[in-house]
Homo-oligomer: A and B are copies of this chain.
Amino acid sequence: MRLADLPTPALILDRQVLQRNLAAMQDRARLLGVRLRPHLKTAKSAEVARLALGPGRDGITVSTLSEARYFLAKGFRDLTYAIAITPDKFAEVARLLRAGAELTIITDDIPTARALGAYGKSQGLTIPVLIEIDTGQGRGGLVPEEPTLVPLGEILHRSGGTSLQGVLTHAGHSYRCRSLGEIAAVAEIERAGAVAAADRLRGAGLPCPVVSVGSTPTALQAEHLAGVSEIRPGVYMFMDLFQASLGLCQPADIAVSVLTAVIGHKSKQARLLVDAGALALSQDQSRPGFGRVQGLPLHVAEVNQEHGFIAADTAEDLPPQPVGTRFRILPNHSCMTAAMHGQYHVVDGSDTVLAVWKRCRGW
């Protein structure tokens, strides 16, 4: 099938661009001397995960237990579930461990750690756990100097139902930076905070083999990662307009786009209507508007559920485009846009659809 024959809207993945992005991050991890544990929250695809890891390698990050189930079924065993665990999810964690997953979970909460230890023991399991560290994002995690860090480590190490694996942090505040220099500074805060937390645990006689950091911006801009064992970037696989706005890629590095067709032209409003709306593009406004038309000075100015409104970047007027004209829209935030779709239509720089790769959904 060719792109011209594909029903619209549809999510397109360019494998050439994807593989260039994957190779760049593999090189980067080698240069930094850390393991790459790619985060599959963006791609949610076994085919993409295999390319991201390279042949014979395992070890990925997931953002939902649905992803953990999916990737385990596809043969990936070494999984880190990087959202703080809650007691209602313990039984599913146990089920995944019994099914063969080497699943590591995270917490920053003493009551949860106690309950998890008791649960693991009652099930005859030793559940691997990382302590979540907040290195400035202000989301989950203990700050590195938090008094409860070592007591939490003690509980996880000695409960009999859990094993303390180390620390994990995510410098999500790198997304709020305005320059590459600022990102490099956040990367150093992320590294230093994770290492400081690890040192505190080790200083108390606790094990801490894993020091896990990562976001695409900090992975690309860190000057060094001394003391870090692994990075967990995810968006780098596809990149997007937001990463381009940070200076981390060019529009030509964006591997995903939404194929759409013109369904109308509102000449008085200088707007084209297309059949990719909020459900095909997401409502992400991390950039002004809801995405850009690939290769043309046009952007998505507004979205309704199944309608997108396309406007010219500079002129007030827009040359009419016949109904049926096709565009590819580059996403603001590829995690959100890809999540609106059940599959990728894979191309290789040309118009031919080579494969359809399913995406994992839900929780």
Contacts and interface: CB of A to CB of B under 8 A. Distances in A.
Nearest to A92: B7
Interface in A304-320: 304-307, 309
Interface of A: 4-5, 7-10, 41, 63-65, 83-89, 92, 108-109, 111-112, 138-141, 172, 261-264, 266, 269, 271, 273, 275, 278-280, 282-285, 304-307, 309, 322-324, 335-336, 339-342, 361-363
Given A64-B306, A279-B339, A323 B109 contact: yes
Given A264-B108, A283-B283, A7 B65 contact: yes
B273 A139 contact: yes
A85 B273 CA distance: 12
Contact of A86 (B84, B139, B275, B285): B275
A307 to B, nearest CB: 6
B341 A84 contact: no
Contacts of A111: 322-323
A259 B206 CA distance: 37
Given A88-B7, A305-B41, A109 B362 contact: no
A8 B65 CA distance: 10
Contact of A172 (B284, B304, B361): B304
Given A112-B323, A342-B361, A8 B261 contact: no
A269 to B, nearest CB: 6
A193 to B, nearest CB: 16
Contact of A10 (B87, B112, B266, B363): B363
A231 to B, nearest CB: 18
Contact of A8 (B271, B273, B278, B363): B363
Given A4-B88, A63-B306, 16 more contacts: A8-B86, A8-B88, A41-B306, A83-B306, A84-B263, A85-B263, A86-B263, A86-B324, A88-B261, A88-B324, A139-B309, A140-B273, A140-B307, A280-B363, A282-B283, A341-B362
A84 B262 CA distance: 10
A307 B139 contact: yes
Contacts of A263: 83-86, 140
Nearest to A273: B140
Contact of A88 (B5, B65, B342): B5
Contacts of A304: 139, 172
B283 A138 contact: no
B261 A86 contact: yes
A84 B7 contact: no
A224 B4 CA distance: 46
Given A284-B283, A342-B362, A305 B88 contact: no
B89 A7 contact: yes
Contacts of A63: 305-306
